[in-house]
Structures are given as C-alpha cells and as structure tokens.
Structure 1
Amino acid sequence: MPSEFQLIQQFFQREQAEQPAEGVLLGIGDDCAILQIPAGKQLAVSVDTLVADVHFPADADPELIAERALRTNLSDLAAMGADPLWFTLALTLPEANEDWLRSFSRGLFTCAREFGIALVGGDTTFGPLSITIQVMGATQSQQTLRRDGANVGDFVLVTNFVGDGAAALAAIQNTHTFADEHAEYLQQRFYRPTPRLYESGLIRDIASSALDISDGLVADLQHICDASDLGAVIDVESLPLSPAVQSLNNNSQSYQWALSGGDDYELCFTASPEKMADIAMLIAQGKLHATVIGEMIPGHKVICEYKGESFALDTTGYQHFSS
C-alpha cells in the first residue's frame, strides 16, 4: 500500500509543482506552507468538510466529487468579494485506490486552474471518505462583502437561478423525473456549481450585504437579517427558476426548492435604491444575471408572500444527501 507521502507526491505535489503560484514561498512538502499575502490586501479564509453520502453520493465519479468540493468552497470566497489565492486539502480515504485518486486529482486541478487557485498543503488519512478544503483569498477592506450592511428599503437580489440544487438532488435520488437535457443540466449544477466570483467582483462596490446560498434562500437571507438587525420580504412569484425546474410544471414544489432547498451556490445580496441604476446597467449589458426578489424591512424574520398572501415553507433549509 502506498504511504501517505507517496500519495501526496504522486497525485498532488507533482501536479502543483507544474503550476507555480504567485505568493507561494514554500508550498506542498514541508510542515507548513509559507505564503505572501498581496500588498495592501486582507486575507479571507473559509473551510468546509464534505462527507460521503451526506454531501455527495459515495459512488459518484471522483473527478466530479473533487470539482464539487472545490467549487462549493470557492463560493464562500465569492460571497465575500474575495479573489482566490490558495487552498489546502485534507482527504480521509477508506483505501489507497490509485485509480480513484488519479481521477480525483484530475478534477481537483482542472477546477483549480479554471479559477486560478493553488493547492499549498494538506493531509491524507484513512477512514470513511470525507474531504476538507480550506480556501484563502484576498480582499480590499473597503470592498469586502459582509452580511451586516443591509438597510431598510434595500432591494434583495439573487444571481442566476434558485432551486436547481434541490431539483438536482431529486433527480439524483430519482424522486422526480426530468427530460434528458434537463437531467444533464441539473447533474452539472450539482457536481459543477459555478462559484459566482465574477459576479461578486461586479457588485462588491455596489452591494450593501451579500452571502452565498448553500442552506436555502430563506435560511441564508435570515443570516443577513440577523446580522443587519432587520427583516425581509420575498415575493415568491419573482423567484428566477431555470427551464429545468420550470419543466416540472409544479409551481408549489418549484418554489419550495427555490426557497428552502439550498445547495444553489448563487449570491443573495442587497442593494440600496440609489445603487439599482448601476445594477440595471450591468444587467442590460449582459454582464450580470440577477433578479430582484424582495426588500429589506423593519423586523427580524424573512417573510414569503405569494400574490399578497403568506407562503408557507415545508422545510426551513437544506436537507443533506442522506435522509
């Protein structure tokens, strides 16, 4: 059985050595990485663990598992308006399967190259399959997106579509059936969600608050409410739904997925009425795909309204892969 050091060298250290990264004074292979933060920038750091059969099917393609793991972590950097720099990886593996590791490594570095982030260290150990990734990025202090900046009267917006994450899970678990083209789209949305780094770069001088949608739109917007000491109202009819979700022809289920399904990795952000002209210009230019879905109000809770009436949620947040 290959040793931990052999695994690291074969599948991670050698690959990263071919992609030298700015600011990495000492990378994989020592007890610590030595990193140089860009001058005048602040460091944004986030870490998440993905567990087999909780956050992804254990028997999924390891290349897709790797992409999902890194992309979902990159979404946290997007939520803060940070530019990706480096990441670390801790892998817990049930066995030293070289084919699995080769495929996983391929997906990991494909994603890392796409988004310009460098692997600088990590760890491997044996046990039930789990993946822990820590991402690091750079922000300008005056451009950092936070949760506590919303004000009464600010509009609430989301990027792209919401509800795809929950719909994808339903497709994977065969609880709902979709046409082939929609099923393929949802498969991609689950395993290869797009961290909205480009969009966060556009709005970090405009938005008053922001976060990414991982636990569900209502649950995550509640975090902005809590941090800003406000409430919010969502116009359910305004929720942007993808053609795949709309194809279900079940508005009630689609809205439930959009509001509480989670796993979308889109940005939810707020903007003052004075900034809406800037946002409208970005949308008109085709640079930003975003939809106004509500407004920040006095109070402490997120309220959902459909045609002027209260809209009840079946669940309040993201349900993990296992029941």
Structure 2
Amino acid sequence: MKEFDLIGRYFANGGHQRKDVIVGIGDDCAVTSVPANQQLAITTDTLVSGVHFLKDAPARSVAYKAVAVNLSDLAAMGAEPAWISLSLSMSHVDEAWMEEFASGLYELTRYYSVQLIGGDTVRGPLAMTITAQGFIPPEAALKRSTARPGDWIYVTGTTGDAGAGLDILKGSREAKEEDREFLVKRHLYPTPRVAVGAALRRIASSCIDVSDGLLADLNHILKASNCGATVHVDRLPVSSALFNCVGAQDAYRYALTAGDDYELVFTVNEEQRGNLETSLASTGVKATCIGQVTGQAGKTDLKLYDEPYQLKDVAGYEHDF
C-alpha cells in the first residue's frame, strides 16, 4: 500500500472534527485557530516497540496509549487538549493491524474532542511520535517549579497497577482473573486525567503526571522547586487488585516506583486545601494526600506508620543512551 493510500484510508477522514481546524490532513501543513485569551500548550512523546510497549501488544492499545500519554502531559499542565499530529513508522502494512490501530486512536480522540490534523508515515521499525496541542488560560499553567515547603502532596487514582499489569503480561506475576483483567487494562489503556488537570488550575501549586514512577516524578517537582518531602507509604492509594496480586510490601514498591500509571501528582498549599474536594467533585476522580513538602532540598523521607521506611529501588524508569 502506498503512503497516501494508507493516509487516505485510515487517517484522513476519521475521528472528531473541530471547528477550530481550518486546514486538516491533505496539505503541507495544518492550519488552526487558537481561541482568544488562551495560550497554546504543546507536548511530544515517542513510543517504540519493545521499549514503551510489548512487541505483541494489541494494536488498539498501542494507539490508545500513544494518545493517552500525550494527553496526560497536557493534563499535568492544566491544558484542554485540542489537536494531535502522528508520525508512524512501520516495517510493512498489515491492514488488520492498521484497522485496530485506527480504532484505538479514534476511541480516545473522540472522547476528548481531539482532532488528528496531520503527521507522516515512513517505513522502519515500529514506532510512533505524537505531538499534542491544547489550550490553557494565561497565568494558569501548572508547573513543576512552584511547590513550597508546607504544601500537601496528593496523587489521583491508584498507583502501581500498570507496572503489575506489565509484569503479568511478561509472565513474571500471576493474578486471579478479575485482578489480572484490571491490572492489565491499567497498563494497556491508561486514563489521562484531563478533567482533573483543568480542575486544579489555580488550586494546585505544582503538578506532574506519573509516567516513570511516583517517587521519580515527585522528585522532578522537588528538584525544580528546590524542596524535599515526607511521604507516608501507608497512605498510598493502592488498589485491592494490586494487594491481592503481590501482597502489601511489594504493593508499596510498585506504588512508589512502577511507571505508566499516568495519574497526577500535585501539591496544594494549606489555604487551597479546603477548595480541593469541591474542585474535584465534578471529575469523579479521588485524590489522596500522601505527604508534605519540606524545606530539606534533595531529601525525601519515607515513613510507614510514622517509622522510617527503607526502599531499595527508588530510581523509577529512565532511558539509557
């Protein structure tokens, strides 16, 4: 199949159509309109087969996750997603695979009213790069560098599930069918917390999404803000499926270090803490307080029932080059 036939069949006319897209797929560039009194937030992520997803991962989940991780970055900044572009590299065209890939792509873009506006297709190892763009009001962007000592640390949803799901798929963990289904789904089909990100504007003092592990990503906030933290391990939001699968001690390890959950970790000062529950009420997502920011820059104290807690692996995921 030729490149333009592939684009025409799977990408040119599918998915959500937005009124702010003046020129979409089919020209040398897309042309879009940014609403008045809005700023443009832009993020790019690349997913490579065998690195970011298993080589035998379902095509639907590959596309779904590729979109989700980019929307999660927008959510972490408090931005409302609008458009994506896709660069797709493949060794050959498998039409059944492409049908499933397009289905996963459009499932998420339709849900969040996001339009695919362009990109590229090339022959090569299986990989995809998505650039996502969204809107945010001036002075409302959530950043990593603005946490302060005394702020409370929160995380949405539950953490550690996706890491356990990956290990189940790789065969290094076993779980009962119901727990297995939940954990594997959390790995294959992460949920970007877009509504939460918007709700946290002017409430949270800093924010980041959990892509590389809770502690690793929290450390990005602490480093950028020149702060430290106390984290209460016994307060971590851990799902019953994760507890059932690995037990309490390993559940804490997964919750602290496993990546791919795409929950939001954020900080809230004491004055805004009372407004948090009201702000999140419409999202249907729970946020759990797991600790507090301290003035001890570079130092993160882990506590289990107020006693020091030692964890061997705290690095989280990081690419080697």
Instruction: Tell me which residue corresponds to 1:314.
Output: 313
**Number of aligned residue pairs:** 318
Structure 1 unmatched ranges of 5 or more: none
Q: Partners in 1 of 2:218 and 2:102 — Cα distance?
A: 35
Distance in 1, Cα, partners of 2:111 & 2:281? 26
Cα offset, 1:227, TM superposition: 1.2
- 8 Å contact kept, 1:261–1:319: no
Label 1:283 to 1:46 Cα distance change in 2 as closer, same or farther (>3 A).
closer
For residues 278 and 13 of structure 2, what CA distance do their matches in structure 1 show? 45
Percentage of pairs with the same residue:
39
More displaced 10-residue stretch of structure 1: 308-317 or 143-152? 308-317
Rounded Cα–Cα distance in structure 2 between residues aligned with 1:77 and 1:273 = 25
- 1:282–1:288: 8 Å Cα contact kept in structure 2? no
Say which SS state the counterpart of residue 141 (structure 1) adopts: coil
The aligned runs of 1:53-68 (5 Å cut-off) are 53-68=50-65
> 1:194 and 2:191 equivalent?
yes
Aligned ranges 1:229-268 → 2 under 5 Å: 229-248=226-245, 250-268=247-265
- Deviation readout 1:117-139 (Å, 9 max, x if unpaired): 10000000011100111100000
Distance 1:127 1:286, change over 3 A: closer
Counterpart in the other structure of 2:209: 212
Taking the aligned partners of 1:58 and 1:70, their CA distance within structure 2 comes to 18
Instruction: Give the Cα–Cα distance (whole angstroms) in 2 for the partners of residues 151 and 319 of structure 1.
Output: 26
2:303 maps to 305
Shift of 1:288: 3.8
Residue 13 (structure 1) aligned with residue 16 (structure 2): no
28-37 vs 311-320, which deviates more? 311-320
Which range moved further: 36-45 or 247-256?
A: 247-256
Q: Shift of residue 283 of structure 1?
A: 6.3
Residue range with higher mean Cα deviation, 311-320 or 202-211: 311-320
Q: Distance in 1 between matches of 2:110 and 2:98?
A: 18
Per-residue CA deviation, residues 206-258 of structure 1 (Å, 9 max, x unaligned), is 10000100011111111111111111111111101011111135222111111
Q: Is the 8 A contact 2:151 2:293 kept in 1?
A: yes
Q: 1-side partners of 2:50 and 2:113: how far apart?
A: 29
Deviations 1:64-102 (A, max 9, x none): 111111111110010000001000000000101112111
Cα distance in 1 between the residues matched to 2:20 and 2:61: 28
Distance in 2 between the 1:109 and 1:309 partners?
Answer: 47
> SS state of the match for residue 85, structure 1?
strand
Q: Any unmatched runs of 5+ in structure 2? A: none
Q: List per-residue Cα deviations over 1:178-222 (Å, max 9, x = no partner).
A: 111111111211111110011112221210000100011111111
Q: In structure 1, which of residues 157, 169, 174 is the aligned counterpart of residue 171 of structure 2?
A: 174
CA distance in 2, matches of 1:254, 1:21: 42
RMSD: 1.7
- For normalisation by structure 2, the TM-score amounts to 0.95
CA distance in 2 between counterparts of 1:295 and 1:219 reads 16
Give me the whole-angstrom Cα distance separating, in 1, the residues matched to 2:117 and 2:279: 35
Alpha carbons of structure 1 residues 200 and 285: separation in structure 2 relative to 1, 3 Å: closer
1:260–1:313 contact (8 Å) kept in structure 2: no
